[in-house]
A and B are shown apart, each in its own frame.
Chain A
Amino acid sequence: QVQLRESGPGLVKPSQTLSVTCTVSGGSINSIGYYWTWIRQHPGKGLEYMGNIYYSGNTYYSESLKSRLTISVDTSLNQFSLKLSSVTAADTAVYFCARDAFGVNGYPIDSWGQGTLVIVSS
């Protein structure tokens, strides 16, 4: 059973860059067909799909974030990461990493990290 765990700073100052890393265990980030995904949830709100990355490095970024978002993968460490630049209070959220099975055997996003709360404040 694959497990994901986010690690992040907890608190970031406005205008700085938010960085969160997801460590994958119990499975390889090189698995064919699976996309590694970032989703965030503003306090008390719904789920926002931010983007994904394939082990090869191919990425997708949501239109609303693509100018500020970078997702990268380190296959040697079985990790993937997000960087969100020029943050404001509106970026305060719980950031989840997840595995998107992308329809493999019909599956959707099937594994999630516990999430890490990042607060943007001076």
Chain B
Amino acid sequence: DIVMTQSPDSLAVSLGERASINCRSSQTILYSSDKKNYLAWYQQKPGHPPKLLIYLASTRESGVPDRFSGSGSETDFTLTISSLQAEDVAVYYCQQYYTTPRTFGQGTKVEIK
């Protein structure tokens, strides 16, 4: 199975400041035939299911604010919240869908400083 490792486990950021979460996969998730990275980012708030934010490493899902962006390739990826808002307090997960089983990072809890 591909192991996904996120860092940090938690971070506290002031409102309006930038938050960055890193995700590393134990092997490449760049599909050679189409040159796409099969990496997704989800946001989960308490009592709710995960919500898809980013797919293919950098494509924002419809309706997701543009302060959320994804970057990276092969094994190293980053989710950036450019200007943290109060409603962004949540746990964020990366997930690879290059192969089955889909595997998730352990989650990063984002809080307000």
Contacts and interface: CB of A to CB of B under 8 A. Distances in A.
Q: Do A and B belong to a common assembly?
A: yes
Interface residues of A, number: 24
Contacts of B107: 46-47
Contact of A114 (B49, B55, B56, B97): B49
B59 interface: yes
Contact of B97 (A63, A102, A112): A102
Contacts of B113: none
A47 B52 contact: no
Nearest to B39: A108
Nearest to B105: A46
- The A interface, classified by DSSP as helix, strand, loop or mixed, is strand
Given A108-B38, A108-B102, A115 B49 contact: yes
B95 A62 contact: no
A108 B41 CA distance: 10
Nearest to B96: A108
Interface of B: 1, 36, 38, 40, 48-52, 55-56, 59, 93, 95, 97, 100-107
Given A63-B1, A112-B51, 18 more contacts: A37-B102, A46-B106, A47-B93, A49-B101, A52-B100, A60-B100, A60-B101, A100-B97, A102-B97, A103-B38, A103-B97, A108-B102, A109-B40, A109-B52, A110-B52, A112-B49, A113-B49, A114-B48
23 contacts: A37-B102, A46-B106, A47-B50, A49-B104, A96-B49, A98-B49, A102-B97, A103-B38, A103-B97, A106-B36, A107-B55, A108-B38, A108-B52, A108-B97, A108-B102, A109-B52, A109-B95, A109-B97, A110-B55, A112-B50, A112-B51, A113-B49, A114-B49
Interface of A: 37, 46-49, 51-52, 60, 62-63, 96, 98, 100, 102-103, 106-110, 112-115
